Structure 1
Amino acid sequence: MPHAIARMAGALITAAAVAASLLLWAAPASAADLSGGRLDWGVKESFRSYITGPIAKGEIQTGDGASTSGGAYRFHSASGSYEGGSASIDYQGWVYFWGHDGELDLTFANPSVEYSGSSGTLYVYVNGSRTDMASLSGGSLSESGGTISVSGASATLTANGAAAFAGYYEAGQALDPVSFSADVAAAPEPTEAASETATEAETETDEVAGAVLDWGVRTSWRDYVSGNIAEGEWTVADGAADGGAVFRFTEGAGTATATDYELAYQGAVTFTGNDLDLTLTAPAITATGGKGVLSAEVDGARVDLVSFEAELAERDGLLVAEEVPTQLTEAAVPVFGGYYQAGDAMDPLLIAVPLTADAVLPALPDLGSEPVEAEPSTENPATATAATDDGVDPLVWIVPAALVVLLGAAAAIVALVQRAKRKQQAEAEAPPADETSEPTASEEDTPAENG
């Protein structure tokens, strides 16, 4: 009998385990892929001042799409995963510090964060070696509108981070705060307009469409706009995109050969701040024999902004010119309030013109969506109803059913154990049975007990 009870109990325990597994299956944990976004970090204000000051007499450069924004360095194109309030995110771009005639030579590249709840770690490639640079705390990881973000997390230098600074700072010192964001990835869908544009470019001789133009105006101009003097910002509209270090203007159409091209683009970028309100709209480029100008609409008039020299080279189904040097024109000096003079170097251009349907345009640094502060939920978690594509979440019926199985199994096991104990006690208290007497029914066998 004890063996039978053990077998039954084992079977019921197995059933309970199956029910528990149903509960786990009913609420699977799936990590969300992340894309697009930005990480803003100024390293340390005193370090930036030291690099460019009279002692180090150095310079700071950014590259691979990294840019400056309000004194911080902005890294782009997030990738990673997010699950259950925890995120692991990689970013792209580098910032280069040089000083003391080359004795100080540091490159911080491709930062990443591992963050859970309100704390985490910032990693940075320092001269090619991945280093846990800082411990992060204080900022709460939140999700809103398909974007996860942390704003103003405190950063504390680690021992490995201190070594990366060659002892210039000690472990435990505060670095500049870190803010970061990323979008929950969505698969892009090809648009009908894009296909038509590519086909049109492929079937015409010199007529082209779907071209892009990348130009950042000038790094120091963006620093001025977002810095302590102008205390401003910039916004893009009408099809333009903000890549942090560059602005992309799209839907370029016109004619193009290697040396002669005339392309008009869509998009606008507006700079605002203290005593500042400037909009550059609908840029266009015109080149003859490789010598050209970039113009834009400014206050209703077209102005030649920069001059350049570039021939377009055919590559991978594109006519393309990259890192084309530019110089400010005389006409553009008042556009920037005399901040620059004619002939000053401005940011380089990228021109890309698709010639075939499968041509892939150069990637633009992806800053993702603007982080949106999460609103506190007013929904009662106890009464919240989950939904699937069919309108009903399987949890609605799986969880109650699994709970019923669990409770039933537990009750059956308890009853069997109690019954076995009572029988053992009764057998121990009963007098020795007379071998000649007729057997009598035990209390456990009575209908009252079994019924």
Structure 2
Amino acid sequence: MAAISRSRRPLALAAAVAVALGAGALAVTSASAAEAPLKDYELTWGIKQSYRSYVTGMAAGSFTPADGATQAADNGAFTFAGGTGTYDSDTHAVRLGFAGSLRIASKLHGFDLTLSDVRFDSGAAEITADVTSGGTTQDDVPLADVTVTRTMTGMETKLTKEAATVLGSASYEGAAGDPLTVVQKTPPTQSPSPTGSPSSSTSPSPTASTSPKPTGSASSTASPSASQTTSPSASASETGAATQGDIADGTLGWGVKQSFRTYVVDGPAKGRITASGGATQASGNGDFTFTEATGTYDTDADTLKAAFKGAVNFKGHEANGSYGLDLTLSGLTVELDGGTGELTADVESLGKTSDDVVLAHLTAGSSDLKAEDDVISLDDVTAELTKAGAQAFGGFYTEGTVLDPVDLSVALSDDAQLPDGDGGSGDGSGTGGSGDSGTTSGTTGGGTTGSTTGGVTGALASTGSDVPTGALGAAAAVTVAAGAGVVLAVRRRRQA
């Protein structure tokens, strides 16, 4: 198991919290009584909803609470009871430890860990737990930073670097966790205010004016705004192309998601990416280009539908000749109407084929489709994961996750020159950047392919993505993205 170092944060926020106690529990009559005992508290936290979906979904695993811990119905949040600890009347800091343990295990994906001795410290604004995996226990591992509030209910959490190690994916570092609630199970009838005077509050109540905002609190990743996108070319066709008709050719540039590519090649998957059937990949584990577009366009109605040739395969987590991750996307199609639309692809998972899965909602920088030199080009089209797309990726990318942007160029005539000199149909050869990486190229669907192994360093991007891969020392054994044995057929789709 990888060693986890606990980073102790200074108690800069300690003065923020004053806790509601039972009648007579806080009898501070001298300096020696600055810390008063607390009992009968509960902590409720779900870690992260998408992680729970992954464990019980694609990983075919389970959560097993014990020793007083419980889980809400329908794979809900976890509650640790029997909380005891202290309230410091000088710093107003609450420190509580909770009974119960939570085992998280998947035989299919090869992880088994247990969280116990869960603790909450309002002064340090953090949740910690002991983590046991592979027969070794690391004590007081910081799992999340907490934005402490007056009521201490529904508090925002942000997963730590150590939590990312525990959950098996660097993409979790800095990601928003589930909300945290810490309450007393049996509300007292009377409690002191932060200044020690009687109060009728029955729940932890930091003073509103001093409610802390922990450094690095959880934040959402906004999708690119219209001002951040590049509008389609505004000039009209100089060759007098018809305002509607069939697409002669075209390319689609899309990286799926940068953090996922990094995970497959340089992360625990220790795998490779292979483009085939007319698709290519840029060097350095870059984006993919799908070619030979067919379809229709109408610049008066601002509509376009284009299907592209090529497939891309993500493969990793090899064990005894089998792969825990084997995912291919093919038959990509873009449909736009007034600047918005959908990106679809064919998906085959565990032997089951699903055609035309809507993977992403698309939003272009302009609602107008305009041609220049018989080419319609759209750059940096925002792509957000759909509910169906989230399901296609095993439920551990959440709906609304921002994917890599889409670049689209289609030729309206046989003589039109696509950007970067790509006129006419592609030859289907991959340029996936195997280069000096030392890995072998693969073949998917009969095409010449290229693989990438890396050259990309750094943690996975924290953009709402979360590709859970197991637990503390077992990350390399875990299947991600589309589950074990997923192979997607390469199929060219043409518009009727």
Tell me the TM-score range normalised by the shorter chain.
Answer: 0.3 to 0.5
Comparing both chains, which one has the higher relative contact order based on Cα–Cα distances under 8 Å and sequence gaps of 6 or more?
2
Query: When the two structures are superposed, what TM-score results if normalisation uses the length of structure 2?
Result: 0.32
Q: Give 1 or 2 for the bigger CA radius of gyration.
A: 1
**Structure 1 or 2: larger strand share?**
1
